Structure 1
Amino acid sequence: MYPSHKTRNDPGQSRVKELSDLLQDELCSLKTIRFLKSPAAEEACEYLTGVLGKSPLLLKELDLSGDKLGDLDGEKLSALLMDSHSKLEKIMLNNCDLTEKSCSVLATVLSSKTNLKEMNLNNSRLLDSGVKEICEGLKNPVCELKILNLNNNCITEGDCHVLAAALNSNPSNLTELDLSENKLGNPGMKIILTLFENVQCRLEKLKLKCISITDEGCAALASAFHSNLRELDLSRNQIGDSGVTEISSLLRNSQCTLQILSLNNNCITEGGCHVLAAALNSNPSNLTELDLSENKLGNPGMKIILTLFENVQCRLEKLKLKCISITDEGCAALASAFHSNLRELDLSRNQIGDSGVTEISSLLRNSQCTLQILRFLKSPAAEEACEYLTGVLGKSPLLLKELDLSGDKLGDLDGEKLSALLMDSHSKLEKIMLNNCDLTEKSCSVLATVLSSKTILKEMNLNNSRLLDSGVKEICEGLKNPVCELKILKAEAERAALRAKAATLDEKLALDVEEANMVAKLKARKERHALECELAAAEAKVKVYKEAI
């Protein structure tokens, strides 16, 4: 018989594992187990087990974003995080109203010997006082935090001074810092860049999206270059072509080992592309990901960027060119400049027509093509459906004229996302098969929306998909829409299967059975009657379809 609980002992790590395994044993009736070192830690553990449905002692990541923290006292959470039995390495407190006291508690945790390596406090409305409290923890030599995310927290230039001072006093651990969507401006950015003056700085990823910097901030970045930096995100700023020129001087540096560069939405034009391409061609062997989405490149700018692929040392694997005003002309240039290292290409939200799709399709048929993800659809929902189906089918549905999602291939894909894909002008699907599926009324409503839209869909197979009357009515709403150009609708297998089953039962009933088998014969008659009802319902569905057409 198992003990009901064990408290304020120190079972050690191997015993903790055994006790945790015991809790997961399906034969174990134990609901609560206590072996932490303080009542506060026990209370926090019990509260979080109720909220999360699992003991936090079994987790390496703890997500308390939103209102999950509830009424739990910060000091009790602190006690749990600092307990030697806690294995938590990552904590998420995004979208929380963190008070100065809450931040003081987090500072205590950071100043203690824990396993914590990542802290996410995005959109948690930290005040200046809260930033100062957290910085007290960051500068403690005991703190071993590697990843700190402070996105959208109204951090100002003044807070940057405090943060930079804290990180400079304990620089050897932090590898990722996200200060995006804060009010830094060029002055705040320059202060953060002083981190790179410290030879012990280990920062590899720096995210500064939407912090209102210009070419002035880019000039400071180029002069403060640090060789450990692997990823830089300056998206949604106003750096323009002159800012690109400054960053290009960094990229030409032979010591630059930058692998990921995001310059999304920065007012970059064809002129900036010339400078950027020249810099990357002079030092091509490191960059693997480039994002120039939502800039004013057009076909001329895209063609310039594609010259990177002429360099045999080019290592680009991911290229994002969303919403840059390219047309079929740009797609033709892409097809001719294909590079075998490219794994992911995003051309969504551009003006690509049928000839552009043809160009891209010819690229995909190239035996040397290693593209795994290709996006050029008009909505995120269509893109998500396309990506999901590519994984299921092993081929992009954009290359198909027939889509077979019979059985359970549809999986967890939301019907509305599938609908978005089928209605996208780039879809060439003429036939869809959804045989042997459990189609709900909502699923049928989505199909009705597809049928009521301008598509090239000509055939729909819904054989043996157990449609309810409500589902049939939904599909018929689509069929009677003047836009619908469906030529073939198949929903016969359900009726055929019922007839076959009925025939089998008829054979059983026709046999001479002994009196001992009369019960079985009566059961067969009941089944036959139920089948007649189902068959009548199936015939009625067919009649409804015919009337709608």
Structure 2
Amino acid sequence: EFTDLEQRINCLDLKGEKLDYKTCEALEEVFKRLQFKVVDLEQTNLDEDGASALFDMIEYYESATHLNISFNKHIGTRGWQAAAHMMRKTSCLQYLDARNTPLLDHSAPFVARALRIRSSLAVLHLENASLSGRPLMLLATALKMNMNLRELYLADNKLNGLQDSAQLGNLLKFNCSLQILDLRNNHVLDSGLAYICEGLKEQRKGLVTLVLWNNQLTHTGMAFLGMALPHTQSLETLNLGHNPIGNEGMRNLKNGLISNRSVLRLGLASTKLTCE
């Protein structure tokens, strides 16, 4: 028999366990008595019923400050609806990891609403969550109003150089509390970087780290970045690795970097630079 504990326990680690609906229901006996820093539900094979039951409990008992629901492909619309409700109502939840958990068109509005209205989340991982298109549009629009989120991870979402990047550029124009934006392994392209740079120019305080690793950026995109860099006053880390920038791209960046007073770390691994 558990006794009530004042402090949160470090971790409830259920990673890789198969959680069917009955098991999820049984977990209420744990959540009734104990609160955790981390609740790890990665790859637990959650379905809509199990996911919505668990998220309702985590919301009701304020069970976690850090929740990992990654690699759960079948939580469906009802699962996301309950997750969104939990995000809105739970003031202690600061970190949500939903990597490889698809957030599709019909589920995205719930999450967007939660992020817009009231969410205590500071860190949100949505890598490989099928966000390109309407889901990203809804999230980016919602996050314009959000003053709490500090870190947003959107790698591996097939984000394109048109509408998706335009949404991100728009987000950067209006949101000045986001500190880390990670866009690695997408298809931002030079056309998309132009949109993002329009947003960057408005970032007086706010964005500290921008990761553009592996987005098929070339010397053309570096010209846009070179023009944006003199305006950004908070950016400290800029990762451009795995893009075919080449020497010409570096020349396009050079003056912007010289005029910039904030960038401390520039990532240029595998960018086709020569010793020039």
Normalising TM by the smaller chain, what interval?
Answer: 0.7 to 0.9
Secondary structure in 2 matching 1:248: helix
**Are the aligned partners of 2:45 and 2:72 in contact in 1 as well (CA < 8 Å)?**
no
Report the equivalent of 1:75. Answer: 52
- 2:28 corresponds to 1:16: no
SS in 2 for 1:297: coil
Q: Are 1:245 and 2:228 counterparts?
A: no
- Partner SS, residue 75 of structure 1: helix
Bigger fraction of residues in helix: 1
Is the aligned partner of 1:43 residue 2:30? no
Distance 1:106 1:63 in 2: 14
TM-score by length of 1: 0.43
Aligned to 2:233: 256
> Paired residue for 1:133?
110
Q: Alignment partner for residue 166 of structure 1, among 137, 142, 146?
A: 142
Looking at structure 2, the residues matched to 122 and 280 of structure 1 have their Cα atoms a distance apart, in angstroms, of: 33
Give distance in 1, aligned partners of 2:61 and 2:31: 17
Give the match's secondary structure for 1:298.
coil
- RMSD of the alignment, in Å? 2.9
Task: Label 1:84 to 1:216 Cα distance change in 2 as closer, same or farther (>3 A).
Answer: same
CA distance in 2 between partners of 1:214 and 1:119 (Å): 28
In structure 2, do the counterparts of structure 1 residues 159 and 18 end up closer, same or farther at CA, with 3 Å as the change threshold? Answer: closer
Aligned to 1:146: 122
Matched, 1:272 2:255: no
TM value normalised by structure 2: 0.82
Matched AA of 1:43:
A
Shift of 1:241: 0.6
Contact 1:41 1:83 in 2 (8 A): no
Verify: 1:230 aligned to 2:208, yes or no. Answer: yes
CA distance in 1, matches of 2:173, 2:8: 48
Q: Which amino acid aligns with 1:224?
A: G
Q: Which amino acid aligns with 1:154?
A: S
Amino acid at match of 1:216: S
Q: 2:77, 2:106 → 1: CA distance? A: 6
Instruction: Tell me if the contact between 2:31 and 2:61 (Cα under 8 Å) persists in the aligned partners.
Output: no
Matches for 1:105-504 after TM superposition, within 5 Å: 105-141=82-118, 143-168=119-144, 170-186=145-161, 187-198=163-174, 201-225=176-200, 226-227=203-204, 228-253=206-231, 255-283=232-260, 285-300=261-276
- CA–CA distance in structure 2, aligned partners of residues 70 and 159 of structure 1: 21
Could you list the per-position Cα deviations for residues 9-50 of structure 1 after superposition, in whole angstroms to 9, with x for gaps in the alignment? xxxxxx632897xxxxxxxxxxxxxxxxxxx9983244789x
Give the superposition deviation at 1:132. 2.4
How many Å apart are 1:61 and its aligned residue?
1.7
The answer as to whether partners of 2:169 and 2:197 remain within 8 angstroms in 1 is no
Q: Secondary structure at the match of 2:89?
A: coil
> What secondary structure does 2:107 align onto?
helix
Structure with greater contact order relative to length (CA < 8 Å, sep ≥ 6): 2
Runs of 4+ in 1 over 3 A off after TM superposition: 40-43, 45-49, 68-72
Q: Distance in 1 between matches of 2:25 and 2:34?
A: 11
- In structure 2, runs of 5+ residues without a counterpart are 10-22
Using the aligned pairs only, state the percent identity.
23
Residues 71 and 18 of structure 1, relative CA distance in 2, 3 Å threshold: same
1:297-330 deviation line (CA, Å, top 9, x unaligned): 1222xxxxxxxxxxxxxxxxxxxxxxxxxxxxxx
In the alignment, which residue of structure 1 is the partner of 2:72? Answer: 96
In 2, the alpha carbon distance for the partners of 1:90 and 1:122 equals 14
- C-alpha contact 1:157 1:183 (8 A) present in aligned 2: no
SS in 2 for 1:299: coil
1:187-238 deviation line (CA, Å, top 9, x unaligned): 211112212332x541111111222122222222222222211000111112
Counterpart CA distance in 1 for 2:196 and 2:7 is: 51
What code does the residue aligned with 1:16 have?
A: L
Contact 2:47 2:76 in 1 (8 A): no
Q: 1:114 Cα shift?
A: 2.8
Separation in 1, partners of 2:210, 2:62: 36
